[in-house]
Amino acid sequence: MPYQPRIDLDQPVRDRLMLRTVPGAVDYLAEDLRTLPATVVRRGPDRLVVDYAGPLRPLAAVRYFDVCAVELGALDTSLKDGALAALRPADGPVRFRVGEQLGEQRWELRDRLVDGYGWRNDPGSWDVNLEPHGAELGALYLTQRYGELRRTPASTNPIVGAVLVRLAKIQPGQTVLDPFCGAGTLLVLAGEMAAPGPVLGADVQSRWLSLAAENVAARGVPATLVRADARRLPVRSGSVERVLANLPFGKRVGSHRVNEDLYPGALREIARVLPGGGRAVLLTDDKRLFRETVQRTPLLRVIKEVVLARGGLHPSAYVVSKRGR
């Protein structure tokens, strides 16, 4: 379904907004904001606080934040000419919920919103979710702006995925392959954020390939999906300019033992399918094994590492290039 936000994206607003991202992705968020009417006033490991002055539409297109919130102390001013003033509830008053983490403060806040603002407390279907870090605007959640994908238990976080695609520097028409595609998150993001030629995905698990098929179809990204082992891909040598993958970390998916065999085989195969000058962007938390394996794989070298954090882990995105032209 197309994004039908319960907020007027074309109404100019003036507000201080907290944008939450993933540790390691803050620079990419800041880079995307550079061309927007946004001034960064605070920077945290997983967020930026910005003074924003203008319509929200260009902000809503940014992929590097998942939550946008108004500070709890600034609700009144936001209601005057800020993001809260741009809310357009489906019918009736603005609906809200108050998160449990606000503790005893919850009741006072709830009464203030009901009695002072005429909002309706509706924890089941709300426009604004109040949490200690601020009043989250439901219409600006990443999942609302870009839609939710079907997921496997190890699916790639979409902000992390957007960083991987950015690092891949996909040129128009280039062939893109994810040899560990799971539910196809990276294929969808590559198709949406770049203008690739053929998009290919492989995975050993048919059930994840079914989810990938649903995801690429739902998002209109034409892709070829095959059940294959990343160590033996049915792909011609030198035919794939960009490889993207979230590798099994050997923690929740697979094990370090399995990776000791998997990584050398998969990297050899990546070296085979890339042409000289080709590039792979690979995410892993099994870092020492990964770096040692790249060193032992002829023609490949790591040219950049970006540490990202997610769910208690600190995986790195490695940009690997193949020598030659």
Ligand X SMILES: C[S@@+](CC[C@H](N)C(=O)[O-])C[C@H]1O[C@@H](n2cnc3c(N)ncnc32)[C@H](O)[C@@H]1O
Q: Quick one: which of 253, 289, 299, 302 contacts ligand X (CB under 6 A)? A: 253
> What does each C-alpha distance from 202 to 104, 229, 240, 254, 300 come to in angstroms?
50, 7, 13, 17, 21
> Is 213 one of the binding residues for ligand X (CB under 6 A)?
no
Which range in 50-58, 69-77, 203-211, 297-305 contacts ligand X by CB under 6 A? 203-211
> Is 229 one of the binding residues for ligand X (CB under 6 A)?
yes
Segment (H or E) for 27:
helix 26-33
> Is 156 one of the binding residues for ligand X (CB under 6 A)?
yes
Give min distance, CB of 152 to ligand X, in A: 5
**Listed residue (45, 103, 94) closest to 70, CA to CA:** 94
Q: Is the CB of 67 or the CB of 202 nearer to ligand X?
A: 202
> Is 39 one of the binding residues for ligand X (CB under 6 A)?
no
Q: Quick one: which of 78, 174, 246, 284 contacts ligand X (CB under 6 A)? A: 246
Q: Is the CB of 81 or the CB of 285 nearer to ligand X?
A: 285
Backbone angles phi, psi at 270, to 5 degrees: -65, -40
**Listed residue (73, 65, 70, 98) closest to 82, CA to CA:** 70
> What does each C-alpha distance from 152 to 35, 61, 142, 179, 280 come to in angstroms?
35, 25, 18, 15, 23
Give min distance, CB of 209 to ligand X, in A: 9
> Is 180 one of the binding residues for ligand X (CB under 6 A)?
yes
Q: Quick one: which of 101, 105, 171, 205 contacts ligand X (CB under 6 A)? A: 205
CA atoms within 13 A on the CB side of 220: 7
Size of the site for ligand X (CB under 6 A): 23
> Is 182 one of the binding residues for ligand X (CB under 6 A)?
yes
267/234 Cα distance (integer angstroms): 15
80/74 Cα distance (integer angstroms): 10
Backbone angles phi, psi at 80, to 5 degrees: -75, -60
Q: Is the CB of 9 or the CB of 190 nearer to ligand X?
A: 190
> Is 158 one of the binding residues for ligand X (CB under 6 A)?
no
Footprint on residues 4-33 left by ligand X (CB under 6 A) = none
Q: Quick one: which of 248, 250, 278, 315 contacts ligand X (CB under 6 A)? A: 248
Q: Is the CB of 205 or the CB of 224 nearer to ligand X?
A: 205
Three-state secondary structure of 168-198: HCCCCCCCEEECCCCCCHHHHHHHHHCCCCC
Alpha-carbon radius of gyration of the chain: 22
223/176 Cα distance (integer angstroms): 10
Position of minimal CB gap to ligand X? 182
Q: Is the CB of 69 or the CB of 282 nearer to ligand X?
A: 282
Which range in 23-31, 65-73, 116-124, 152-160 contacts ligand X by CB under 6 A? 152-160
> Is 316 one of the binding residues for ligand X (CB under 6 A)?
no
**Listed residue (50, 45, 46, 65) closest to 13, CA to CA:** 50
Q: Is the CB of 152 or the CB of 174 nearer to ligand X?
A: 152
> Is 215 one of the binding residues for ligand X (CB under 6 A)?
no
19/48 Cα distance (integer angstroms): 5
> Is 36 one of the binding residues for ligand X (CB under 6 A)?
no
Three-state secondary structure of 54-68: ECCHHHHCCCCCCEE
Give residues in contact with ligand X (CB under 6 A).
Answer: 152, 154-156, 179-183, 185-186, 202-205, 208, 229-231, 246, 248, 253, 262
